[in-house]
Amino acid sequence: MDFLPKGLGTRPRLAVEVRTEGVVAARAEDATGVLVAVSRASVAAGAVVPGLKAGNIVDRSGVAAAVRSALDHVAGKGSERTRDVTLVVPDGAVRVLLLDFDSLPSKPVEALPVVRFRLKKLLPFEVEDSVVSYQMMSSVKGSVAVLAVGSMPKHGI
């Protein structure tokens, strides 16, 4: 499974952060980022254990319930409600890298394999089994800067 990023200006208005001490969700009014709703839900101690190689979600149902609860309080009603959500996970659960390329295909379906290939030797786990997300940060003739994120899906986050 892969996440193909949207443009910089189209980030979801909903966000949820999973932390060891709980889940925080927020909803922004619009692209200005002004928050109109914030909610927090607790998780049991030890339910989230960030790590690159070990399981991150020990209590999957408890964390899912906390995410659902926090999002339900901020998601809005009717047309305000959306399926697009920004997920923020503990730093120890993912590897974030800034990669430089000479060029990168413009179509995400063609660019993703190139990004995965570059990540092959940079991740402490098999890139074929991981979730990879990327976002082009800048592009000038002969140089493309890409922010890439890799995480291990078999172990939780």
Angle at 119 between CA 116 and CA 123, to 5 degrees: 130
In degrees and rounded to multiples of 5, residue 8 shows phi and psi of -60, -35
Which pairing describes strands 85-88 and 95-101: parallel, antiparallel, or unpaired?
Answer: unpaired
3-state secondary structure of 140: strand
| Residue 42 sits in the same domain as residue 104 | no
Find the DSSP H helices in 5-150.
Answer: 60-74, 108-119
What's the structural domain count of the chain? 2
pLDDT at 26 over 50: yes
| Residue 78 sits in the same domain as residue 105 | no
In degrees and rounded to multiples of 5, residue 65 shows phi and psi of -65, -40
Q: What range does the domain containing 36 cover? A: 2-88
| Residue 134 sits in the same domain as residue 150 | yes
Mean pLDDT of the chain: 82
| Residue 58 sits in the same domain as residue 115 | no
The one-character DSSP state at 19 is: E
More confident residue, 153 or 92: 92
pLDDT of 119 reads 92
CA distance 116 to 97: 12
| Residue 67 sits in the same domain as residue 13 | yes
pTM given for the model = 0.61
